[in-house]
Amino acid sequence: MLLAESLLGSSSTAPVYIEDVFSTYLYTGNSTSGGTQTITNNVDLSTKGGMVWIKGRSAAANNMLTDTVRGAGTAPQSNNALSSDLQDGESLQTSGLDYDYLSAFSTTGFTVKQGGTTTATQGTNYNAVTYASWTFRKQPKFFDIVTYTGTGSARTISHSLGSVPGAIFVKARNEAGNWTVYHRSVGNASALFLNTTDASAASTAFNSTTPTSSVFSIGANNTVNRNGTTYVAYLFAHDAGGFGATGSDNVISCGSFTADGSGNATVTLGWEPQWFLVKETGDVGNWILIDNMRGWVNEPSSAAGRDRVLYANTNVAEITTADYGAPTATGVSIINLGGGDSYIYIAIRRGPMKTPTLGTSVLRFDSIVGGSLWTEISTNGRLGNSVNGLDAVFTKSRAAADNWTLTPRLTGFSPTFAVAASLSTNLTDAESVKTGGVRGGAAASSTNLQAAAIATGSAISYSLGRAPGFFDVVCYTGTGVSGVTVNHNLGTSPQLVITKVRNFTGEDWVVHYNSGSSIVGGYLNNTTAFANSSTAPSTDIRNLTSTTYTLNTSNRRVNGVYNYVAYLFATVAGVSKVFSYTGNGSSQTINCGFTGGARFVLIKRTDSTGNWTVFDSARGIVAGNDPALYLNSTAAEVTTIDAVDTDSSGFIVNQDATLNLNVNSASYIGLAIA
């Protein structure tokens, strides 16, 4: 078997997903005296190899890049890091000083160590400083690392990327020198420098030769090929496939765009990105770095910018007032860049790509205590140790007449530690800051997500992670013209679609239930029955597929000239079930295909009036009274009714005259999560 074939694997090779090879992980430094901190991001670096890029957010700090080929640091004066904002070689910037460093790689992440210095400038674990880390695992058709020694003569360098590189970063290791960048959109006769704001310029660095799937070329150039100098090269693939269940999905793209006269552009990738590095090529400009964990927010054009920006070419702290656009289901909507200018980018696909197998990987419960200023609801913005990001949070007071709040990551978990704008499922108002909302953390030392204080009693928080087949969130702008297509990444035809206009007060939440043979519609914020008449919301959407659906109307509910958010749910075997049933007047088992029962149950009667009733195992789904809340109401929970019982396949629903969840011959729909 050829080497390239062994690297790429055969048809029997297990599928690889973006969550296996890339991670954005936020953490807070915890030491001023040589202490360590282990970062568990579930990326195997010690056996697969890779690179970790770390940048301080809340303090001025260099970009620190450490990889498994050159090795982790062994002492503060030999930390092996290279800084993308400096010309310095390995460890030269730390000579005689005890700076922080990455001290070990593991099968589940890496460890950082504080070196004892009194400055955070070159830190990876300085006490109370917040950090972003980006892990790139070596993988054919995604990322590779090559080291070589310069000869001063033009030559080729072998690599194992398994595809034609879209971008290459080259840096001298044992002496000072610029980070020289090849990008396919700039071409092989020009180069950029990662550590400067310079425009692209003619260069012999890459010998005017386009790289191939096995080699890249370097010229007799002092920045990449000085005789006797050692170098490291980081190679990034471009639209090479190799991922997903079929092995044909793209996860990384190296492309370009030109902004219009207002600085706007549309980047089409075919998928939603989670990480985006962009640089102007025709003029000076920073290397702008944005990711969805720190904050890359889809917001109405009238809102203040909430994107969180770091620069690869400078050590400045995170910029918190920027607005460069937002990710979309199929790419990036760019705004506020230089009008008429050309840009290059590297984009990495959002995960997870793998269909979930456990309900606990996509749904988390947290109790919120009334009177507390804030309550932690997620470490690092994730669902426990899952690769799934925490992508939407519902909160509601249990004992008090408070509104529900619903906040998706796409519209802003604000990392400036102010409450993010939310919507209330029981109201028709526009998106706004609400009591009980979500924020990024209590202070600069916090990277967790938190729920705001409620007035009294306690509250429940439901945190959901987007995942193929289970749940997706889509932000879009209506056109006022019927027939517009909405793109999504659910990966299957949505069975439950919940839509709300974000920047208009007075319009209902619209719900569509797709049985596969018909679509019925109703409203989330009230108790009215679903209907199929021409004036009912049932006619608002059509043609639901695994990637798109059509807005079959121009009304303000789903397609006025406003901003919208849509929540899409579907059935995943053993994880979730979008269900319907007909009441029998007593008790019946709703088989969801689970093995350990339902942890979350939402039920709505559709043929007549009825609340959107919510149960969960955190408050109690038991063989007795079950606390119930209503998504459409501020009312405190009902605690005196035995409405549902446990069953390993799903749940049992009982009829009672208060909740009316099993009236004889009545029709119901709902959502259950294991």
Task: Give the three-class secondary structure for 348.
Answer: strand
Those residues whose C-beta lies under 8 Å from the C-beta of residue 306, and which sit 6 or more positions away, are 295, 297, 299, 320, 323, 412, 414, 416
Residue, of 400 and 276, whose pLDDT is higher: 276
Report the alpha-carbon distance of residue 184 to residue 500 in Å, rounded: 41
Q: 317 with 60: CB under 8 angstroms?
A: yes
Q: What is the mean pLDDT of residues 167-174?
A: 97
Higher pLDDT: 430 or 8? It is 430
Q: Using 50, 70 and 90 to split pLDDT, how confident is the model at 454?
A: low
Confidence category of residue 439, pLDDT binned at 50, 70, 90: low
Q: SS3 helix, strand, coil % of the chain, rounded to 5?
A: 5, 40, 55
| pLDDT (mean) for 183-196 | 98
Count H helices, E strands: the chain? 4, 50
pLDDT at 33: 75
Under the banding of pLDDT at 50, 70 and 90, the label for residue 369 is low
Higher pLDDT pick, 599 / 336: 599
* pLDDT, average across residues 468-486: 96
According to DSSP, residue 396 is labeled E
Reported confidence tier of residue 442, pLDDT bands at 50, 70, 90: very low
Task: Decide: 88 and 78 in contact? Cβ < 8 Å.
Answer: no
Strand partners, 397: 459
Q: Render pLDDT for 534-571 as a digit per residue (tens, 0 to 9).
A: 556 888 999 999 999 999 989 999 999 999 999 999 99
Rounded CA gap, 373 and 395, in Å? 15
> What percentage of the chain reaches a pLDDT higher than 70?
87
Only one residue has tokens 């012999």, namely 204
How many percent of the chain have pLDDT more than 90?
A: 71
Where residue 118 falls among pLDDT bands split at 50, 70, 90?
low
User: Sorting pLDDT into bands at 50, 70 and 90, what band is 123?
Assistant: confident
Among 185, 341, 347, 343, residue whose Cα is nearest residue 263: 341
**Residue 157 near residue 227 (C-beta atoms within 8 A):** no
- The number of beta carbons lying within 10 Å of the beta carbon of residue 266 is 13
- Selection from 164, 180, 174 nearest residue 216 by Cα: 164
| Distances in whole angstroms, Cα of residue 593 to Cα of each of 106, 361, 494, 571, 597 | 37, 17, 18, 10, 9
- Contact criterion met (CB below 8 Å) for 249 and 243: yes
Element (H, E) at 266: strand 265-268
What 3-state DSSP class applies to 580?
Answer: strand
Residue 213, pLDDT score: 98
d(CA 439, CA 260): 34
User: Is residue 375 within 8 Å of residue 365, measured between CB atoms?
Assistant: no
pLDDT at 456 over 50: yes
CA 263, 265, 271: angle at the middle one, nearest 5? 145
Whether residue 479 has pLDDT greater than 50: yes
Q: What is the sign of the dihedral through the CA atoms of 150, 155, 160 and 163? A: positive
What pLDDT does residue 121 have? Answer: 72
* Residue (of 583, 577, 587, 569) closest to 649 by Cα position: 577
| pLDDT in the model for residue 444 | 40
219 or 308, greater pLDDT: 219
Specify the pTM.
Answer: 0.93
Per-residue model confidence as pLDDT tens digits over 198-236: 999 999 999 999 999 999 999 998 899 999 999 999 999
pLDDT band at 347 (very low <50, low <70, confident <90, very high): very high
Per the structure block, which two tokens stand in for 306? 């909430």
Please tell me the total number of residues recorded for the chain in this structure: 674
Asked if the model's pLDDT at residue 515 lies above 80, the reply is yes
Give SS3 for 233: strand
Spatial neighbors of 1 by CB under 8 A, at least 6 apart, are none
Phi, psi values for residue 324, rounded to 5°: -110, 20
Distance in angstroms (rounded) separating the CA atoms of residues 535 and 660: 27
> 96: exposed, middle or buried (C-beta count within 10 Å: 0-12, 13-18, 19+)?
exposed
Q: Which of 114-128, 346-360, 494-508, 603-617 has the lowest mean pLDDT?
A: 114-128
Smallest Cα–Cα separation from 670: which of 586, 591, 575, 601?
601
What is the spatial distance between Cα 588 and Cα 582, in angstroms, rounded to a whole number? 10
Structure tokens at 538: 């049932």
What does the alpha-carbon distance between residue 304 and residue 569 come to, in Å, rounded to a whole number? 30
Mean predicted confidence (pLDDT) in 110-136? 84
Rounded to whole angstroms, the Cα distance separating 42 from 67 reads 17
Residue 258, pLDDT score? 95
Per-residue pLDDT tens over the stretch 9-30: 444 589 999 999 999 999 989 8
Residues 6+ apart with CB under 8 A from 94: 76, 77, 78, 79, 101, 115, 122
Residue 503 pLDDT greater than 80, yes or no: yes
Determine the Cα–Cα distance for residues 650 and 574; give it in Å rounded to an integer: 10
| DSSP letter, residue 638 | B
**49-66 tens-digit pLDDT:** 999 999 999 999 999 999
Q: Is residue 531 very low, low, confident or very high in pLDDT (cuts 50, 70, 90)?
A: confident
DSSP state of 21: H
Distance of CA 161 to the CA centre of its chain: 25
* First CA to last CA distance, the chain: 44
The pairing of strands 64-67 and 342-349 is unpaired
632 or 299, greater pLDDT: 632
* Cα–Cα distance measured from residue 120 to residue 60, given in angstroms and rounded to the nearest whole number: 7
CB neighbours of residue 525 within 10 Å: 23
Q: How far apart are CA 166 and CA 234, in angstroms?
A: 11
Give the CA count within 13 Å in the CB-facing half-sphere of 443.
4
Q: In the structure encoding, which two tokens stand for residue 474, read together?
A: 């889509």
* 31 three-state secondary structure: strand
| C-alpha 217, offset from chain centre | 35
As a whole number, the mean pLDDT across the chain is: 89
238-263 core/surface letters (b: 16 or more CB in 10 A; e: else): bbbebbbeeeebbbbbbbbbebeeeb
